[in-house]
Amino acid sequence: MQVPLVFKGAPGSPYTRKMMALMRYRHITYRYLVGEAADRAGMPKPQIELLPTFYLHDAQGQLQAVTDSTPLLRRLEHEVPGRAARPQNAVLAFFDSLLEDFADEWVTKCMFHYRWKFAPDIDRASKTIPLHWGGLQMDEKIYAASKAFFSKRQIDRLPVIGSNPTTAPLIESGYVRLLGLLDAHFSQHAFLMGARPGASDFAMYGQLSQLALFDPTSMDLAVQHAPRTFAWTGWMEDLSGLEVQDGAWLDAAHLPASLMALLAELAQAYVPVMLANARALLRGEKQLSVQLPHGLWEQGTVTYQGKCLRWLRDEFASLDTADRVHAEVILQTTGIGDLIHARL
């Protein structure tokens, strides 16, 4: 794959931040196209426009617009030299994928909820984020219209991602629990994956780059409940200077209690919602609803999350017998085996 990699992104996009932090850590050079620069450069458009969008050559040498950070991260791991962001141990790599998906598909709901539910957060996001696409010298009238258009569009999407008056307490208590779990882990380890970061670290960083460092309501909670996590997020942005040892990963045979507790948290909402989504998709439904321990969860179905579940199940199935037995013990101990085994 040709470097520098070329991509379009924006600082207010958690997945852009995930991939930028990954590339910095892996010492992959890149060209970052902000705002309308990609269109001006005549770049192709993806089927669904998402940030970040990478512009990569396919086998025929054609430039393609490629989205979705999870498969991209794996493709870069295989095709671009640099230090590894995926654990060598297959069991640890599976749990790295699982926590990456939890951050990308669940923690992002917290991010969206805090940004578009509370007045100070709406004010900050709608005033500043449009300037990233329109440019700082944007025309005043266009700027005023963009603020109103952007905030309305995002606020209207709250129920689609599952945020409504019934689920609000569930999202907010889940965020505070997550902060406590992360802080307990970071009091013993530099990264989720040990003394070096994995995909899950970059995904969690991407969401926290917004929750802990941009949106004021969730940021205050992070400072109050999780000072280490707040500090970690600042640090994750640029790990280009971090020196890592080959064997600095967690020992998969003895995962720390703090990581086991974080995995157990996935049973609260992420696992049942991912399963309910996959089942609703199979029935061709546009909406899903599932009773969680703390209340009813309702959201629009997400085709991409159906794929995420398949990828996780495929990765588990590809483990050799000894690794599968080992991973199974961790899944059962943490109460999240349904994600892999429940019938759809």
Ligand X SMILES: N[C@@H](CCC(=O)N[C@@H](CS)C(=O)NCC(=O)O)C(=O)O
Give the interface with ligand X as residue ranges (CB under 6 A). 13-15, 50-51, 67-70, 104, 304
Q: How far is the CB of 255 from ligand X (least distance, A)?
A: 25
Q: How far is the CB of 57 from ligand X (least distance, A)?
A: 20
Cβ atoms 70, 173 nearer than 8 A: no
In terms of CB distance, is 13 or 146 closer to ligand X?
Answer: 13
Give all strands (DSSP E) within the chain, no chain letters: 5-9, 30-34, 53-57, 63-66, 287-292, 295-300
In terms of CB distance, is 156 or 220 closer to ligand X?
Answer: 156
In terms of CB distance, is 75 or 189 closer to ligand X?
Answer: 75
Please state, as a whole number, how many other Cβ atoms lie within 10 Å of the Cβ of residue 39.
11
Q: How far is the CB of 149 from ligand X (least distance, A)?
A: 12
Q: Say how far apart CA 124 and CA 114 lie, in whole Å.
A: 12
In terms of CB distance, is 8 or 324 closer to ligand X?
Answer: 8
Q: How far is the CB of 331 from ligand X (least distance, A)?
A: 24
Q: Say how far apart CA 117 and CA 146 lie, in whole Å.
A: 19
In order of 107, 266, 282, 292, the CA distances from 276 in angstroms are 17, 14, 10, 11
Q: How far is the CB of 111 from ligand X (least distance, A)?
A: 9
Cis check: omega of the bond before 4, within 30 degrees of 0: yes
Looking at residue 283, its amino acid is: R
CA dihedral 266, 268, 273, 279 (to 10 degrees): 90
Cβ atoms 93, 311 nearer than 8 A: no
Looking at residue 259, its amino acid is: L
Quote the radius of gyration of the chain (alpha carbons, Å). 20
In terms of CB distance, is 34 or 50 closer to ligand X?
Answer: 50
In terms of CB distance, is 6 or 252 closer to ligand X?
Answer: 6
Q: How far is the CB of 70 from ligand X (least distance, A)?
A: 6
Q: How far is the CB of 105 from ligand X (least distance, A)?
A: 8
In terms of CB distance, is 51 or 93 closer to ligand X?
Answer: 51
With tokens 């089942």, the residue in question is: 279
Q: Say how far apart CA 260 and CA 208 lie, in whole Å.
A: 20
